[in-house]
């Protein structure tokens, strides 16, 4: 896959999956504009000083003005926008109050919607088409598996629905929109949270990144409106 001279926005790019995605993009010749919220995470980011990486500090991707700042920082014509940023919180419906619900909607669905909006407008301005890749989750496709994390499930189901609807809206403009739906990924944080789990069955971040990269690439010429399960053996 060739991303030579292609500019790509990656939200949440300083996280575990983000590092794998950005690394693969750089290896393929891409230029990455990467958002982050926590300074410590940016300081640990392996590619923070790479010549083809621009880090952009944001406080809230659910804020339209903050999102506009991110896309304004792209130093060239936007080719792809990959939306990894999000949040997770478990909780049964009876235990989830309105602020907790809104936090999941804002960090997952609203942030994704606003980034999709900004990306589409930038791509229409560039008149070269483009690619958008969102991140849903397994419970978005299998809601029964979302019992005990209903607010998160609802938010990620919204991301999946947004992906399919937007894909239909912009296909004729040469913009292909897709999403991946991971199960629990093999990250240090997930291993620490679930030390007794069978890590071997979890998809590796590099494997999920490979699927994202294809969907975002010029080599993807026909796939749109897909929410691709990336479950590994889980």
Per-residue model confidence as pLDDT tens digits over 191-232: 998 999 999 999 899 999 999 999 999 999 999 999 999 998
Q: How far is CA 227 from the centre of its chain?
A: 12
| Active-site entry in 36, 47, 71, 152 | 152
pTM score above 0.85? yes
| Residues 53-71, mean pLDDT to the nearest whole number | 97
**Order of strands, sheet of 78-83, starting from the edge strand that comes earlier in the sequence:** 53-57, 31-36, 7-11, 78-83, 130-135, 175-182, 227-230
**Quick one: pLDDT at residue 93?**
98
Annotated active-site residue 152? The verdict is: yes
pLDDT tens per residue across span 23-57: 999 999 999 999 999 999 999 999 999 999 999 99
Most confident stretch, 169-178, 182-191, 196-205: 169-178
Q: Which CATH number fits domain 7-230: 3.40.47.10, 3.40.50.720, 3.40.190.10, 1.20.950.20?
A: 3.40.50.720
**Quick one: pLDDT at residue 234?**
82
For the chain, give the percent of residues with pLDDT over 90. 93
3-class SS string, the chain: CCCCCCEEEEECCCCHHHHHHHHHHHHCCCEEEEEECCHHHHHHCCCCCCCCEEEEECCCCCCHHHHHHHHHCCCCCEEEEEECCCCCCCECHHHCCHHHHHHHHHHHHHHHHHHHHHHHHHHHHHCCCEEEEEECCHHHHCHHHHCCEHHHHHHHHHHHHHHHHHHHHHHHHCEEEEEEEECCCECHHHHHHCCCCCHHHCCEHHHHHHHHHHHHCCCCCCCCCCEEEECCCC
Residue in the structure block whose two tokens are 């008149």: 127
d(CA 168, CA 214) in angstroms, rounded, equals 19
| Residues 63-78, mean pLDDT to the nearest whole number | 97
- Contact, 224 vs 176, CB < 8 A? yes
């Amino acid at each position: 896959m060739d991303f030579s001279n292609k500019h790509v926005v990656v939200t949440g790019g300083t996280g575990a999956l983000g590092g794998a995605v950005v690394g693969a993009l750089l290896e393929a010749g891409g230029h990455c504009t990467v958002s982050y919220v926590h300074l410590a995470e940016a300081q640990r980011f392996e590619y923070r000083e790479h010549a083809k990486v621009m880090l952009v500090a944001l406080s809230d991707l659910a804020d339209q003005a903050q999102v506009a700042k991110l896309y304004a920082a792209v130093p060239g014509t936007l080719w792809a926008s990959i939306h990894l940023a999000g949040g997770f919180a478990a909780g049964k419906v009876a235990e989830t109050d309105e602020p907790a619900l809104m936090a999941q909607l804002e960090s997952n669905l609203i942030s994704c919607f606003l980034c999709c909006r900004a990306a589409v407008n930038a791509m229409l301005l560039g008149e070269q088409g483009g690619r958008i890749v969102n991140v849903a989750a397994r419970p978005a496709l299998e809601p029964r598996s979302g019992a005990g994390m209903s607010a998160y499930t609802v938010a990620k189901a919204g991301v999946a629905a947004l992906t399919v609807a937007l894909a239909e809206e912009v296909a004729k403009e040469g913009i292909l929109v897709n999403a991946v739906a991971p199960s629990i990924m093999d990250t240090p944080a997930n291993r620490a949270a679930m030390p007794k789990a069978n890590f071997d069955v979890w998809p590796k971040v590099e494997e999920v990144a490979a699927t994202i990269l294809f969907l975002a690439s010029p080599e993807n010429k026909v796939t749109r409106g897909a929410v691709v399960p990336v479950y590994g053996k889980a």
